[in-house]
Amino acid sequence: MLFNSLSFLISFSVFYLFYYYASFLVRKVLLLIFGIYFYSQWGVGATLLLFGSITFNYCIGIWIHQNNSKTRKWIFVFGVTANIFYLGVFKYFLFLWGVFSDIQIELGGLPFRWKPSLLLPIGISFYTFHNISYLIEVYDEKITVCKNYFTFVLYDLFFPLLLLGPIERPGNLIPQFESKRIITKEMIWNGLSLFCWGVLIKSSVADPLSRYVEMNVNSFDSLPPGILWIIAPTIAFQVYADFFGYSLCAMGLAECMGFELMNNFKRPFFSSNPAEFWSKWHISLSTWLRDYVYIKLGGNRHGFLRENINLMLVWFLTGIWHGAGYGFIIWGVYLGVCLVFYRFLKHIGFTQMQNKILTGFGIFLTFYTFSLGLLLFRISSPSESFLILKNLNTLPSLDLIPYPLLLIILPLVLFDLWQEWRKTERPSFFLNEKPFLPLMIFVLSFIWFSVVSPFAKEDFFYFQF
C-alpha cells in the first residue's frame, strides 16, 4: 500500500478522522492498529517477524537495565549480535549462498542445485537499526529504558517511518509517544502540504525517471557509447525524488498526528564536496553510522591513518547495508575512496582555496561522483563494472540527451533552490493563510490525478533495502 495510492488515502482519512478526536490512550491504540494494518499489507509473515524482533529487543533492553553486574556487557553484546544475525539471515544469506556457489564453480565444481527460499521482510534494515540504536543508548545510559511494552511497539511500528525511515533515535521518538500531543491547525496544514509535495515529486518526477532508466538500461554491454553520462544523473534525480518524496510524506503524516520526525535530506545536490554531501543525504543513516560505528571505532582520535581506515570500514558496511550484492559492496568501497581522497586533499591544505568558480566545480564534481556510483547498484557481477568504464570512455552524442526529462526534474530543482535561498533547516513552504488555500486545492487536485491515473505506479526505490 503505497502513500500515493487511493487505498492508502482512503484508509488514512478514515483512521485520521477517529484519531483526531480521540483521547491520548485511544490515539495510541489507533496508531498500533493502523501500524499493524499498514505493515501487514506486505505479508502476515513479515508482520510476525517484526513483532518477534520488537519483543526480543524490548526484553533485552529491560534485561540490560536491571543487570548491574559484569554480565551486563555480555547481555548487550548478545542483543546487538542477535539483531545483526537476524538481519544477516533474511537479507544476506541468499547472497552468501550464491557467492559460495560461484566459488565452487571457479574451483571446477558444479553450482549448488538446491537454493533456499527466504522471506525478505520489507523495511528490515530500518527497524533493525532502530532497535540496535535503542540497545546502544540504553547500555550507554543515554536514555531511560522503555518499560511500557505498548510504547515500545509503537516505536518500531510507527507507520510513517516503518518502511523507509528516517531511522529515528529512541531519545527523540519514544518520549513523543509517552506525552500528550496537541495537534494545531498549523501542524495539520504544514503536514498536509509536506505529504502532498512528497507524493507529487514521487509521482511526477521519480516514477517517470524510473521508467526512462528501465527502458534504457537493460544490460551494460548493449548501450550506446557514452550514454551512461546521461543515465547516471537521471538515476541520481530518480533516487533523490523517490527517497526525498517518501521522507516528506513521512514527515507530513507524522506532523498531522502531532509528531516531529528528523529531516532526512537537506538539498544534497548543492554540496561542493563529498563530506558536505553525506551530511545532507540520508542524514538519519549517515549520523547513525557516525555515532554508533565510526565513533565507536575511535573516530579521528588516533591519527589521520586510523581515521581513514575507520571511514573505509564504515563505508564498506554502508554498502552491505544497502543490499546483498556485488554492486553494493563495490559502491560502498568506491564512495569510501572518494571521501578519503577528499579528506587527504583537505589534510594537505588543497581545499583551502575558495571562490565561486571552484565551489561551482566542486558541486558539479560531487554530484557526478555520486551519480556515477549509483550505476554500481545495477551490476550483477564485478566484471560488469568494466563495462561501465568502457561506456564512459566516450562522450554521448547530443541526440541522446532526453530534453523532456529536464522539464520533469524542474519542480524538484526549483523547490530546492527556493529552500537553499531561504536557508531552511527543514522543508517548508513559507505560506501565509491567503495564498495557502488555492495552492492546496491545486496540489490536492494534482495528487488526486496521481493516485487515480491509469499510469503504472512504481515502488519506492529504497524498498529493496
Residues 208 and 67 in one domain: no
**444 in a domain, yes or no?**
yes
Residues 68 and 201 in one domain: no
**1 in a domain, yes or no?**
no
- Residue 236: domain span: 186-464
Residue found by looking up cell 507507520 in the block: 159
**34 in a domain, yes or no?**
yes
| Choice among 65, 130, 302, 322 that is catalytic | 322
The count of structural domains within the chain is 2
Quote the pLDDT of residue 211.
86
Residues 208 and 227 in one domain: yes
Least Cα distance to 283 among 252, 305, 261 occurs for 261
Cβ proximity of 216 and 351 under 8 Å: no
Residues 10 and 110 in one domain: yes
Residues 305 and 339 in one domain: yes
Of 111, 145, 180, the last residue of a domain is: 180
Quote the pLDDT of residue 162.
83
Residues 251 and 132 in one domain: no
Of 180, 198, 221, the last residue of a domain is: 180
Residues 344 and 451 in one domain: yes
Known catalytic residue at 322: yes
Quote the pLDDT of residue 237.
95
Residues 309 and 275 in one domain: yes
**129 in a domain, yes or no?**
yes
Residues 145 and 216 in one domain: no
Cα 250–126–58 angle (5° rounding)?
A: 105
**139 in a domain, yes or no?**
yes
Cα distance between residue 17 and residue 183, in whole Å: 13
Of 119, 149, 180, the last residue of a domain is: 180
Residues 81 and 201 in one domain: no
Quote the pLDDT of residue 105.
63
Quote the pLDDT of residue 447.
62
Taking the whole predicted model, whether its pTM rises above 0.85 is answered as: yes
**230 in a domain, yes or no?**
yes
Quote the pLDDT of residue 251.
93
Cα distance between residue 442 and residue 82, in whole Å: 49
For each of the chain's 465 residues, which pLDDT tens digit applies? 677 777 888 899 999 999 999 999 999 999 999 999 999 888 888 899 999 999 999 999 999 998 887 889 999 999 999 999 998 888 777 666 666 666 666 666 656 565 666 667 788 888 999 999 999 999 999 999 999 999 999 999 999 988 877 899 999 999 999 988 889 888 888 888 888 888 888 888 888 898 888 887 777 777 888 888 999 999 999 999 999 999 999 999 999 999 999 999 999 999 999 999 999 999 999 999 999 999 988 888 888 888 899 999 999 988 888 876 778 888 999 999 999 999 888 878 777 667 777 888 899 999 999 999 999 888 877 777 888 888 888 888 877 888 888 888 988 998 899 888 888 888 876 555 555 666 666 566 666 655 555 445 555 554 454
Residues 363 and 413 in one domain: yes
Residues 130 and 249 in one domain: no
